[in-house]
Amino acid sequence: MNIQSAINLEDIRQLARRKLPRIAFDFIDGGVDDELCLKRNREAFEKYRLLPRYLRDVSKRDQSVVLFGRTYASPIGISPTGLAGLWRPDADLMQAAAARDANVPFLLSSAANASLEDGMRVAPEHIWFQMYCTSDERINADLVQRAVKAQVGVLVISVDVPVNSNRERNRRNGFSRPLRMTPGVILNAMGHPAWVLRYLRTGGIPMMRNWKPYAPPGATAGQVADMYGTLTPAPMVNWEHMRRIRDAWQGPMVIKGLMHPDDAREAARIGVNGLVVSNHGGRQLDVAPSPLEMLPAIRAAVGNQVELILDSGVRRGSDVVMARCLGARAAIFGRPPLYGVAAAGQPGVARVLQIMRNEIDMVLAQIGCRAFEELDASYLWTGAPRAADSGSSTCEKPMP
Ligand SMILES: Cc1cc2nc3c(=O)[nH]c(=O)nc-3n(C[C@H](O)[C@H](O)[C@H](O)COP(=O)(O)O)c2cc1C
């Protein structure tokens, strides 16, 4: 199998598994603790059904979506992921270019290897900049100003990493810096010499370019990563930080990682424009609910005031359709584009986006919906209709 013959995202995951040493693949693939949250993110989609409508002319379908005043070709986007240069040099820029070509957003992480300025050169219309607040207020303010100066379209603040989490696969594999070269790691890495050579050539970690300006001149990639590790996670971050960013940033501001409806309401109150409803892909709190389960309550809490974007566990076009029926405007995913870039570079990411696009198109036709933006809860079926139901058998309130 090669990237073009991959027919679904699981195929691409398997291609990446073959390309990467286990220590690297597990870093991307893994969750925390018992990996229950990882499983739950997928299982949540299985609870819902889409009820098809027929005899509607669906010969033309439109899956474009408007987010923060800009029209994207598909209701999907690439979630922010740090250190992607470890899986392939320039992975961030390859993701940016694939997102640009597919006309979907790419959320460039502050923990990426490419700088936000580099990303903006490749995909000026498609980069949303994702930052974590650090323990240093001056750096936080400077990151926001850099986003202003680079004319980033959307600023995303991730808030769901107050502390590092318990990633047991990484601990068992010795994923540390430098990687712990146990006999097992060496044996496995021998099957992936290209990756090992690249890893050794970059001195164990590629430069985290967003942070270079805050390190002493001439700092190595390792020293920059060490500095980053002292600044984040920043457990003291609170609503005051969000208010300060809201004051400093005039454009659309999105918070990623809020899961409680009351937090969503507070975000709306301080003027946040969008939320990425996410549990970080099951990489933080193993006992957290899946974002899909929380969507209806969060939609009810914020009404139409705030855009909702679902993240975590999205692997099929039907997942994106369901997310929309439950109140999200669009959905984004993190691991599949990383598998794509690890397996085949930019064409690998393009293939991931193309597969999702095709699946969404097919599902729209199957359920008799001509336009993604017309989806609502009337397409959901979650149980046998009760006798009292008249016609529609949905159990959720239609999205306003
Ligand atoms: C390797 C990896 C690195 C990540 N780095 C970041 C990051 O820098 N910032 C962030 O907000 N989320 C980060 N995430 C979380 C993703 O943005 C996203 O929430 C998650 O991957 C969604 O789940 P999915 O992989 O099931 O789609 C990372 C996820 C992975 C797998």
List of domains in the chain = 3-371 (3.20.20.70)
CA 234-220-237 angle, 5° bins: 10
Q: What percent of the chain has pLDDT over 90?
A: 87
Q: Is 399 or 147 the better-scoring residue by pLDDT?
A: 147
pLDDT > 60? residue 389: no
Q: Is 187 or 163 the better-scoring residue by pLDDT?
A: 163
pLDDT tens per residue across span 39-97: 999 999 999 999 999 999 999 999 999 999 999 999 999 999 999 999 999 999 999 99
280 included as an active-site residue: yes
**240 CA distance to ligand 1 middle (Å):** 25
Question: What pLDDT score does 176 carry?
Answer: 76
3-state helix, strand, coil in the chain (%, to 5): 45, 10, 40
Question: What pLDDT score does 392 carry?
Answer: 45
- Looking at the CA of residue 111, tell me the nearest atom of ligand 1: 8
**Amino acid in position 121:** R
**Amino acid in position 300:** A
Residue 310 and residue 277: Cα distance in Å, rounded? 5
pLDDT > 60? residue 319: yes
CB atoms within 10 A of CB 305: 14
**372 CA distance to ligand 1 middle (Å):** 25
pLDDT > 50? residue 396: no
**131 CA distance to ligand 1 middle (Å):** 12
Ligand 1 pocket test, candidate residues 129, 280, 333, most atoms within 8 A of CB:
280
Closest residue by CA, ligand 1 atom 5: 81
Which residues have CB under 8 Å from 103's CB, separation 6+? 72, 73, 74, 126
Question: What pLDDT score does 230 carry?
Answer: 96
Question: What pLDDT score does 386 carry?
Answer: 55
Per-residue burial over 78-90, b if 16 or more Cβ lie within 10 Å, else e, is bbbbbbbbbbbbb
- Residues contacting ligand 1 via CB (< 6 Å): 28, 41, 79-82, 109, 111, 130, 158, 256, 278, 280-281, 283, 311-314, 333-335
Ligand 1 pocket test, candidate residues 9, 12, 23, 81, most atoms within 8 A of CB:
81
Which residues have CB under 8 Å from 187's CB, separation 6+? none
Ligand 1 pocket test, candidate residues 155, 161, 283, 341, most atoms within 8 A of CB:
283
Catalytic residue among 126, 192, 241, 280: 280
